[in-house]
């Protein structure tokens, strides 16, 4: 079953509305696909957290499959320390995960973004 990560920008209060809509959609039907939501309070915070370099890291890692941080740094042609920092931050956000063999991988098949204007 495909796994989707939703990235949203907006007030946390709208989370209850989304939960209620999902509940009604799921009732009486087969379970919806696995979805995880990552919310940011503002677009500047999203852009500060998910930089162009980190997005490229996610894309390359998804294509490469599970690799060590060292191998990922080589693949990206970036400094190991910077890649390690980015991997740690992305792992804390749940955008990537570490395997039992100390490799990193992207667990998502798709990332959807929703940006709401207040």
**What is the domain-level CATH number for residue 108?**
1.10.10.10
Do the Cβ atoms of 107 and 97 come closer than 8 Å?
yes
Written as six digits, the tokens of 1 are 């079953």
Written as six digits, the tokens of 26 are 């799921």
Q: How far apart are the first and last CA of the chain?
A: 34
Contacts of 92 (CB under 8 A, 6+ apart): none
DSSP code, position 48 = H
Q: How many domains does the chain have?
A: 1
Greater pLDDT, 28 or 71: 71
Give the percent of the chain with pLDDT over 70.
75
Range of 41's domain? 3-115
The yes-or-no verdict on residue 117 having pLDDT over 90 is no
pLDDT value at position 78? 97
44-95 residue pLDDT tens: 888 898 899 999 999 999 999 999 999 999 999 999 999 999 999 999 988 9
């Amino acid at each position: 079953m495909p796994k989707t990560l939703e990235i949203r920008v907006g007030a946390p209060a709208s989370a209850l509305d989304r939960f209620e809509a999902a509940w009604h959609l799921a009732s009486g039907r087969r379970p919806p696909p696995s979805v995880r939501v990552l919310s940011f309070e503002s677009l500047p915070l999203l852009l500060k957290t998910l930089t162009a370099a980190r997005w490229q890291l996610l894309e390359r890692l998804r294509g490469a499959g599970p690799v060590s941080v060292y191998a990922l740094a080589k693949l990206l042609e970036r400094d190991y320390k910077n890649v390690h920092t980015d991997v740690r931050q992305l792992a804390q956000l749940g955008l990537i995960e570490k395997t039992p063999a100390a490799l990193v991988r992207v667990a998502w098949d798709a990332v959807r973004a929703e940006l709401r204007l207040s």
